[in-house]
Amino acid sequence: MVCRGEEEVIMKQLFAMLLILGGAICSARADGYPFDAETQEVKVDSMRFRLSAEQVEAISATGVVTFSPEQLTVIRRLYPAASAKQPVIAATFNDSVEGLDDDHIDCFWVRADEIAVTIDRTVMADPAKAKKALRQTPAIPPDPNAVRLSPDGQIYHHGKRIDLREAFDLIAAVRRSKREGEVFEFRVVVPPQYSPDRELDGGTANSKVRELFAALKSHGETLGVPVFKSW
C-alpha cells in the first residue's frame, strides 16, 4: 500500500521526469528529427508497424505509406483524425528542421519493412491538438533533381522505376541546367536496411543499396554535381 505522503513524492518525481522528457523532445526537434541517421534509433516514444511488401514498394516509389485498416485502428486510438495516407521520412538522413512545431507527429522509415509513428503525450492530452495530429494529406511535390532507392536496390523517379543509366542522365541534366552562380545538387533518398534476421538473398539487398548510392555519388563527382542523401 502506498500512503499519501509517498504518493505525493511519486507524483513529483513523475512530473520532473515529464519536464525532462519534454525538454529532450524540444532539443531533439531543434537539432533535427528525433532519430539517429546512422543507426535509425528513434529518440522518442513511438509505435512500430511492420510493412507489407506493397507498403514498402509504395514508400520506396513515392515516400507515402497507406496504413492497413488494422494499423489505422491502432493509430486512431491515439490520434483519432489520422489519415490513412501519411508522408514518411527516411531515417537515414537528418538535418535541422524548420517550420515544424514541437508537437508535430512523424512517421519514420526505420527498417526496410518497418516504420515508427511518434507518440506525443502532450498532443494526446489536448483534444484540439489530437484532432489535428496526422490529419494532413501527403503533399510531396515532384523533384526533378532527386531519386529514391528501394531496400531491394530499385531506383524510382517521380514514382516510376528507372535504371541506373537513367539516373545518371538525370544527374547530367542537373549539370546542363546550371546557371552561373547557381547552387545545384542531386538528392537520393536512401532506405533503411533490412534487419539482420530478415535480410533478403543473404544480405545482398543491403549491399546493393550501398553500391547504388556510391555509384550515383561517384558519377556526380565526375560531372561536378554534389550528390547527397535526402529524406
Grid look-up 521526469 returns 17
Could you report the per-residue pLDDT of 102-157, keeping only the tens digit for each? 678 999 999 999 999 999 999 999 999 998 999 977 667 788 899 999 999 999 99
Angle at CA 220, nearest 5°, toward 216 and 223? 145
Q: Backbone phi, then psi, for 107, in 5-degree steps?
A: -115, 115
Residue 147 in contact with residue 174, Cβ under 8 Å? Answer: no
Residue 185 in contact with residue 227, Cβ under 8 Å? Answer: yes
Q: In angstroms, rounded to a whole number, what is the distance separating the alpha carbons of residues 182 and 174?
A: 11
- Those residues with Cβ within 8 angstroms of residue 206's Cβ, 6 or more apart along the chain or in another chain: 151, 193, 194, 199
Helix axes 204-223, 164-177, angle to 10 degrees: 30
More confident residue, 199 or 71: 71
Q: In angstroms, rounded to a whole number, what is the distance separating the alpha carbons of residues 145 and 175?
A: 10
From the number of C-beta atoms within 10 Å of its C-beta (0-12, 13-18, 19+), residue 66 rates as middle
Grid look-up 515532384 returns 142
The answer on pLDDT for 7 being more than 60 is: no
| Alpha helices (runs of H) in 105-155, residue ranges in sequence order | 121-124, 127-132
- Those residues with Cβ within 8 angstroms of residue 34's Cβ, 6 or more apart along the chain or in another chain: 25, 28, 42, 43, 44, 106, 118
Residue 157 in contact with residue 167, Cβ under 8 Å? Answer: yes
Could you report the per-residue pLDDT of 41-55, keeping only the tens digit for each? 999 999 999 999 999
Set of cell numbers at residue 18: 515529464
Rounded to two decimals, what is the model's pTM? 0.81
Q: In angstroms, rounded to a whole number, what is the distance separating the alpha carbons of residues 8 and 83?
A: 40
How confident is the model at residue 179, as a pLDDT?
A: 64
Residue 124 in contact with residue 82, Cβ under 8 Å? Answer: no
Could you report the per-residue pLDDT of 181-215, keeping only the tens digit for each? 566 899 999 999 987 666 555 567 778 999 999 99
How confident is the model at residue 231, as a pLDDT?
A: 86
More confident residue, 136 or 57: 57
Q: In angstroms, rounded to a whole number, what is the distance separating the alpha carbons of residues 94 and 41?
A: 12
Could you report the per-residue pLDDT of 218-229, keeping only the tens digit for each? 999 999 999 999
